[in-house]
Amino acid sequence: RAWAAVAVMREVAKKHDVSVATVALGYVLAKPFVMSVIIGASRMDQLEQNLAATGLKLDADDLARLDEVSALPAEYPGWMLERQNAGRRPAPFVPKA
């Protein structure tokens, strides 16, 4: 799964002419529940790549692809509860015409 994520990040990086590190940080920063990221740089070029993430604008397709490739599988007991509750959900309301 990790290599699949890296492959997608490489494609997105090429599309935006940035590094994979910039895409990775930009993706995390695009999440509304993320307030900050912790960066690590030992060279000036790494710092510049990290800072470039603040200006990276990923489009909806980029975000969807990255979401899909990085999605974690459901873990126990979540998957079991989801399956058990499936029949308990009411059908969606459909107004009569």
Per-residue pLDDT tens listing for the chain (97 residues) = 899 999 999 999 999 999 999 999 999 999 998 888 999 899 999 999 999 999 999 999 999 999 999 998 878 888 888 888 877 766 676 777 7
Q: What share of the chain is helix, strand, coil (3-state, %, to 5)?
A: 60, 0, 40
In a domain, 97, yes or no: no
Is residue 23 classed as helix, strand or coil in its secondary structure?
Answer: helix
Domain with 34 in it: 2-88
In a domain, 93, yes or no: no
| The pLDDT value given to residue 72 | 87
In a domain, 12, yes or no: yes
| The pLDDT value given to residue 90 | 67
| The pLDDT value given to residue 61 | 97
Q: Cα separation of 52 and 83, whole Å? A: 42
In a domain, 58, yes or no: yes
Domain total for the chain? 1
Q: Which residue has the tokens 């990221």?
A: 37
With beta carbons less than 8 A apart as the criterion, state whether 43 and 71 touch: no
| The pLDDT value given to residue 79 | 81
List all residues 6 or more positions away from 74 whose beta carbon is below 8 Å from its beta carbon. Answer: 82
